[in-house]
Amino acid sequence: MGVFFSFNCIVYKQTKIMDQQITGLFKKFLSKTATADEQKALNDWIASNEELQDWIENQLDNSTEDIDASTQSAILEKIHEKIGVQNKPTFVLPGWVKAVAAVALILLMVGNAVLYVRSNQQTETRYAEIGALRGQKASLTLPDGTKVTLNSESTLKYSTDYNQSERIVQLEGEAFFEVAKNQKIPFVVKAGKLAIEAKGTAFNVKAYPEEKYISTTLTEGIVEVKTPGELIAMRPNERVEYDKSGNKLKKLTLTDATGSIGWLHDELSFENATLEEVVASFSRIYNVDIRFASESIKEQRFTGKINNNSLLSVLRIISLTSPIRFEQKDSVVILYDVPSENKLFQQNNKQKLN
């Protein structure tokens, strides 16, 4: 699975950093010429090396307000030593206790004084962030036992004091939640302007920022979907859609809500979805760039269930059931309208509806 983890919005996926780059960043910091991004880069690198971080903190504790030449030299020597044994990229995800206590040094120059702040000196809330890369899925279990499956290009963020007084997560993308029961502390998913509240249930939330709607589909239990001015209670086999542009909620009754979570089992299921929505799903799943030759194609509707076969097979199925043709150019797929077929397709659809 393609998964990335970050802590306090810092992604702990380190790439190999050359001695010269780190030395340059440190010297820029000392000369007060480092930009905010450069300070963050140095900060992140030090934070990913716990032994080095502790050693530097000890040096600063024993130093005067200014970092004298001997301390500078000692720190640089230690950095060189650390780089020498770091022969390949590393992946670091601190444990909960260490994650809360071991925050990257925040080095600021105020006059001639050096300030560094540790997490136990801060009151701000810290967050863990988990994500699924494009073309991949990811699964995780939250501290309360809630199980979450993330679809492609999705991220979930929650505070490190989750489950102490509240259970709130923030979602961008799509996820299926199997919520651990807790009558005292509701489970809340925040997605854009929506808040979906549950106490013990199973539901799917789709909230990709580029899409027009945020949808919640309930498979088990009861949830409430809220906007600042509206609330809808849901029961199994119902879907609530939030229109971002109109700021409105709409509830739909489904024959079988499990069709909306076919992606969990590598199955794609669509019910009267626009071709734009269908293609967005394909792009994320197959990690491919799919483009439209004209804007009008995007609004064509598609209903059907497709097993997660090869991209070529899926495109052939779409072209057989919709008035489009496709062409692949290198790593890009282009969809074209077929005017004569489109007219017949619209007539057939009209007859089916009557």
Contact yes or no for 234/216 (Cβ under 8 A): yes
CATH 3.40.50.720 describes domain 266-353: no
The Cα–Cα gap between 126 and 115 comes to: 20
Residue 321: phi and psi, rounded to 5, are -110, -5
Q: In the chain, where are the structural domains located?
A: 3-121, 133-259, 266-353
Sheet strands (E) in 179-283: 187-191, 194-198, 202-207, 213-220, 223-227, 230-234, 238-243, 248-253, 267-274
Per-residue pLDDT of the chain (354 residues; tens, 9 = 90+): 455 444 443 333 333 333 556 667 666 766 667 676 666 666 666 666 666 556 565 655 554 445 555 655 666 565 555 544 343 333 333 333 233 223 223 222 222 222 222 333 344 567 888 888 888 888 889 999 999 999 988 999 988 889 989 999 999 999 999 999 998 999 999 999 999 999 889 999 999 998 888 999 999 999 999 998 899 999 999 999 999 988 899 998 887 888 778 888 888 777 777 788 888 888 888 888 899 988 888 888 777 777 767 788 888 887 877 788 888 887 799 988 876 544 444 444 444 433
Q: Thinking of the domain 133-259, which architecture would CATH place it in?
A: Sandwich (2.60)
Nearest CA to 305 out of 321, 293, 294 is that of 321
Placement of tokens 């988990």 in the chain: 130
